[in-house]
Copies of this chain bind each other. A is one copy, B any other.
Amino acid sequence: MALIVQKYGGSSVADADKIRRVAQRIAATKEKGNRVVVVVSAMGNTTNNLIRLAQQITSEPDERELDVLLSTGELVSCTLMAMALRALWYDAVSLTGAQAGIQTDNSHSRGRIARVDPQRILREIDAGKIVIVAGFQGMTSGSTLEADTTTLGRGGSDTTAVALAIALKADACEIYTDVEGVYTADPRLVPEAVKLKEIGYEEMLELASYGSKVMHNRAVELGEAYNMPILVASSFLEAPGTLIHGGVPMEIRNKVRGIAQDLNVAKITVLGIPDKPGVAAQIFQPLADGGISVDTIVQNASINNLADLTFTVARTDLAKALRVVEPVAKSLGAREVASDSRLGKVSIVGTGMQNTPGYAARMFTTLFKEDINIQLITTAEIRITCIVDEALVPKAVRALHKAFELDKLAV
């Protein structure tokens, strides 16, 4: 009997009707003779509503308290799913993150899974039950008295599912969501985008981290680390999805697999700082201490021993980042701190790009022909990213999708 881990996202369990419909899909999987473990997210907008509730109390809710508060969203959905299955005469049991053995470190609001102890899950499966696990949450180590609830951060339910699939040595890990799979570009921007049958972990990571919000990045990384194939498919349709795995054959004819975009980008430029060792550290260490992720960093050539340092942060971090950078820049004698919050990223992604020249040139030429000014460029092994005016991102994505002939991929 195969063991299958499935995950259903918040929009798939947004109300009682949808929960009942998903219960039928789970029952069908069980009927095929599989052992089934299901991870569910909180219903619809529950998590955001809980955050709003906390913010009615205080603008800066304590992270430990917020974790317990947010964890209730998944407790609600997993108990309702178990009830729905029992109403269909399937024996089902819901488990909290703690009961499912999801043990994390002590980082509240961004708990990292330390280990998974699937004892209880295995016992329930062996008793013939369908196990419904509350996603997104875990528990610190310790007794029932001492262990504290943690959450894994946004999208953590994907991570729960992949971690459980690994710990249970599952035969399949299936992520059901409101998209049908991974496309060559965001179908809302590019109507002719094509759904990929399969994609490599690395490619998926680059697409996901650049805004193709199909599934959570950490979950893909986890799948890659343990070589667990992950199927992403629609929770509403029966259409085949996209399999994320390590065995994707190197493409020959078309080596760019997808175009990604991200609108949550802001740029900070510190002008006229002394070009000497240690200056970068003085700027970036306090940002790191403040929990602000810095993405692209560019330093221009020094003139008169003065340089300009440009870097990007998430737009949502811009105000916080400026509060950190401005006093530092002043103490370094910088001339000015400038910022621009209306930027976006477009990226081309593909394993085939490695060690193959010409991709960057074709990307820049395409954007040039569309009259799109490139503000910053970064590259990674299987990705080239250009930062452009936010308003030009859709145009850039469409042009690149066409230039790399992604619309001509066989479905």
Contact = CB atoms under 8 A, between A and B. Distances in A.
Main secondary structure of the interface of A (DSSP, over half): helix
A101 B147 CA distance: 12
A335 B119 CA distance: 58
A16 to B, nearest CB: 4
A50 interface: yes
User: Contact size class for A?
Assistant: 35 or more
Given A96-B68, A144-B139, A144-B147, A58 B75 contact: no
B64 A93 contact: yes
Interface stretch (A76-84, A299-307, A343-351): A76-84
A58 B84 contact: yes
A323 to B, nearest CB: 22
Contacts of A64: 93
B76 A53 contact: yes
Contacts of A139: 144
A86 interface: yes
A60 to B, nearest CB: 8
A82 B58 CA distance: 11
A238 interface: no
A69 interface: yes
Contacts of A16: 53, 56-57
A57 B84 contact: yes
A65 B53 contact: no
6 contacts: A19-B57, A65-B82, A69-B75, A72-B76, A98-B145, A143-B144
